[in-house]
Amino acid sequence: RDRVRHFPDFPVPGVLFRDISPLLKDPVAFRTLIDLLEDHVRSSFPKIDFIAGECLDSRGFLIGPPLAQRLGIGFVPIRKKGKLPGPTESVSYALEYGKAELEIQTDAVEPGQKVVIVDDLLATGGTMRAACELLKRLKAEIVECLVVIELKPLKGLEKLNSIPFYSLLQYD
């Protein structure tokens, strides 16, 4: 919690941005973050196939690959539309301050494979819900959505339609 900075009115007025940059630049804090996520996943899910990371921006992307590497499994990127080569599935969704579109490569996972979706933050839940929709279209089994920070007042958890969810830090 000490490694999360707060920026009011970013990126638009009325938004209180939670910045994990200090956590990422502190090697002990970042290692501790990955340790905590690894411990949680290992104790909760003895068998998963992939970590899927929402790569709409770089923060979620920076957490998923090291976690997947620690677990000895692959990482599947979910990106902004137009950033992945080959055949893709895409979905549009609303952000807390705009609209966006995410996509995944159609061969990213096989039907029935177990996936944990990782991101840095859950706010209104639009991005996480879109990632879940993409993986469901590929018939993956989403075993959990995992984030570093949950902004509880924005009620993003409600959009996950009872998919198991875990957050390390919660802000009211």
List residues with catalytic annotation: 59, 96
C-alpha pair distances (Å), 20 with each of 12, 29, 75, 112, 167: 18, 10, 21, 33, 14
Phi, psi of 95 (to 5 degrees): -90, 170
CA atoms of 21 and 33, how far apart (whole Å): 13
Copy the structure tokens of residue 49.
């196939």
73 secondary structure, DSSP code: -
CA atoms of 62 and 7, how far apart (whole Å): 20
Element (H, E) at 58: helix 58-71
CB atoms within 10 A of CB 161: 9
